[in-house]
Amino acid sequence: MIEFLVDRKRTTLAILIVLIFAGIIGRINIPIESEPEITSPLVYAGVTLPGISPSDSERLLLKPLEDEIRGITGIEELQGFAFENYAAVIARFDAVDSMKISLDKIRDAVSDAEAKFPEDAKDPIVRELSINDEPIVIITINSANSGERYLLNLAREIKKDIELIPAIFDAEIVGARDEQLEATINRSQLQSYNITYNEILRAVANNNQVVTAGEIETGKGQFSVSVPGLFETARDVYDLPIRSTDNSTIYLSDIAKVKRNFKDRESYSKIDGVKTLSIFVKKVVVKILFLHSIKSKMLLMFIRAKYQTISIFHLY
């Protein structure tokens, strides 16, 4: 057979070309699902308790969930999130167990944890996280040697880098506290200047707003005039006039110590029991799971190469 093909090169080449075209045509005609049903090894468990703060949610809801689920064999990674009114965990299993077995294990653990929840807690929800429903990448950031502000600024920088990728529409930081300016009033200074708390509150309320001055008509057209009064920088707050006279002006910095601080937590993010910051990469425009996996790994490699001083994990 081989000698026959070698002696008839033109015939062999023609047969090869026919087979190639037949394969291409067959590949085109074979029906292939653009979004195949994929079983993800991710299981979500959440519980709701109306009126609870994020810190109480971590203590009363998240901790019992983590304590029970952490004892399950086969879990590669466990992430926990505590928000206002509810807490949730995401467990990533290895490929040994089927999804049904993984769900049963989580349900049993959540059932045991339910006895530790407050009486007003709603029934827990346990379900599979489907990649088909919501393609998502969760990137967690942690550093034992870095402060909260450093990690927050780093998370914001990473978020900007992620959102520059054309295939990604949105990225959300979870577990971070919003920044604020905190003014600590000096009581002795208030008494010295004879200023009341109502004056301070009134000065802040009256200045932190946009004042519309109306419209001006000229021969060339009509345009509106507004006086900007919103606080945009920390200096605007420092230089806020509390009381003005003909001889002098008393500023907020004269009667209070103004410093940058954080608001009370509205959410918590944890991985394997350690508090972290998480970035939820949402709405990834990828139709095929293989491409989604490749893009996720490329994204993670890029972030790890750029930020080598912190620990970065991902769950997708």
Q: Which of 148-152, 220-224, 233-237 has the lowest mean pLDDT?
A: 220-224
pLDDT of residue 225: 63
Q: By percentage, how much of the chain surpasses pLDDT 90?
A: 10
Coil/strand/helix, residue 51 = coil
Domain 42-177+265-315 is found in CATH 3.30.70.1430:
yes
pLDDT of residue 181: 82
Q: Kindly report the pTM of this predicted structure.
A: 0.50
Q: pLDDT for 13-69, tens place per residue?
A: 888 888 898 888 887 777 655 445 555 578 899 999 988 888 888 889 999 999 999
Instruction: Look at phi and psi of residue 185 and say left if phi exceeds 0, alpha if psi is from -120 to 50, else beta.
Output: beta
Which one is predicted more confidently, 204 or 287? 204
Which one is predicted more confidently, 227 or 170? 170
Which one is predicted more confidently, 191 or 224? 191
Two structure tokens written together for 33: 């699902």
Q: Give me the mean pLDDT over the 266-278 stretch.
A: 75
Specify the length of the chain in residues: 316
pLDDT of residue 94: 78
Structural domain boundaries of the chain?
A: 42-177+265-315, 180-215+222-261
Two structure tokens written together for 289: 């799971």
pLDDT of residue 262: 84
Block residue for tokens 């998480």: 278
Give the H or E element holding residue 314: strand 311-315
pLDDT of residue 65: 92
What radius of gyration, in Å, describes the C-alpha atoms of the chain?
A: 30
What value does the mean pLDDT of the chain take? 77
pLDDT of residue 213: 58
- What is the number of other CB atoms lying within 10 angstroms of the CB of residue 281? 25
Residue 142 predicted with pLDDT over 60: yes
Nearest CA to 131 out of 40, 202, 36, 251 is that of 40
pLDDT of residue 292: 53
Two structure tokens written together for 294: 């490749």
CATH number for 180-215+222-261: choose from 3.40.190.290, 2.60.40.1120, 3.40.50.2300, 3.30.2090.10: 3.30.2090.10
Q: How far apart are CA 187 and CA 165, in angstroms?
A: 51
pLDDT of residue 290: 46
How would residue 108 be classed by pLDDT, with cut points 50, 70 and 90?
very high
How would residue 289 be classed by pLDDT, with cut points 50, 70 and 90?
very low
List, in sequence order, every residue forming a beta bridge with 92; answer none if it has no partner. Answer: 42, 77
How would residue 288 be classed by pLDDT, with cut points 50, 70 and 90?
very low
How would residue 124 be classed by pLDDT, with cut points 50, 70 and 90?
very high
How would residue 162 be classed by pLDDT, with cut points 50, 70 and 90?
confident
Q: Give me the mean pLDDT over the 206-234 stretch.
A: 68
